[in-house]
Homo-oligomer: A and B are copies of this chain.
């Protein structure tokens, strides 16, 4: 035959109904051992494989999950995608991937595309101002795991790192190293309510009292180049800067490079702390001190949360808050 075998072909070969073949394929029971052997032999001979498209039309389950992020070239992401895909594969699922460039319109387009293809659920790093669309899809019945944000809606679970604590750890580390004139670089696309790192950092400074000056703040894109620009902005606000906390490692690396370019030694003249702990951070000189976000842990928790949503939807879910830790290297 010049087309792929179907249940009907297998059934025809064995002399049973397609329904019976479906029972064997799906291990449903309700067939004799003899029938089972014959069906499996025919499956092998005809190279039958279930058509997941036809199956999805009936069961509304496609065996796929979607991963929606900002930009895949952010090194944090591929490691996470590998983790998520590994766990999804264990559950017999195939992964869609789409990046949104942190644009809510593109995220809406991606979610629409996934919804139209009956994905079993999605793991989303939300774009700015996209809670409404996430809530909408949750209400429509799409299981959604939101990462690094809080959305309360049916079928939505949240998994996030304790980023305020990360900010506090960074602040305390810089203070204990004797830094007194500090700055924080936050993400350009983050609204104030999502600047957890900055909030924790500033809170820790306030708690500590002491002789440090009030910290200055800047914004930057999540790239090395962004970090260079963020450094320049901080410096213009506080020329005798001696400590920096950046919201991700690429930005921190950029700040380090800009510091070096301006004749300041890291960490002698200025200490830098990042947040992520990407591999690159161990290879640059000096090696970056950073707040480690455990991607393996995040992958596991996100996929587990999605599995729970898929199996038992429309149940109330408490956010899962993952701990962070400071990894002290050379830059601070």
Contact = CB atoms under 8 A, between A and B. Distances in A.
Interface stretch (A67-75, A173-181, A211-219): A67-75
A269 interface: no
A322 interface: no
A4 B118 CA distance: 12
Interface string A51-89: 111101100001110010001110101110110010001
A5 to B, nearest CB: 11
Given A52-B116, A117-B62, A98 B85 contact: yes
Given A77-B78, A98-B95, A112 B49 contact: yes
Interface stretch (A20-28, A157-165, A194-202, A279-287): A279-287
A75 to B, nearest CB: 7
Contact of A82 (B62, B71, B140): B71
A115 B49 contact: yes
A216 to B, nearest CB: 25
A113 B55 CA distance: 13
Interface residues of A, number: 47
Contacts of A280: 280, 283
A204 interface: no
Given A94-B96, A96-B94, A97-B96, A118 B82 contact: no
Nearest to A280: B280
Contacts of A56: 53
Contact of A96 (B49, B81, B95, B116): B95
A117 B52 contact: yes
Given A117-B94, A140-B4, A82 B99 contact: yes
Interface string A125-163: 000000000000000100000000000000000000000
A13 B94 CA distance: 37
Given A53-B53, A116-B51, A283-B253, A72 B81 contact: yes
Contacts of A285: 284-285
A224 interface: yes
A71 B79 CA distance: 9
A82 B72 contact: yes
B79 A73 contact: yes
A245 interface: no
Contacts of A253: 283
A265 to B, nearest CB: 14
A15 interface: no
A82 B74 CA distance: 11
A73 B85 CA distance: 12
Nearest to A78: B72
Contacts of A284: 283-285
Contacts of A110: 94
A257 interface: yes
A247 interface: no
B118 A53 contact: yes
Contacts of A117: 52-53, 62-64, 94
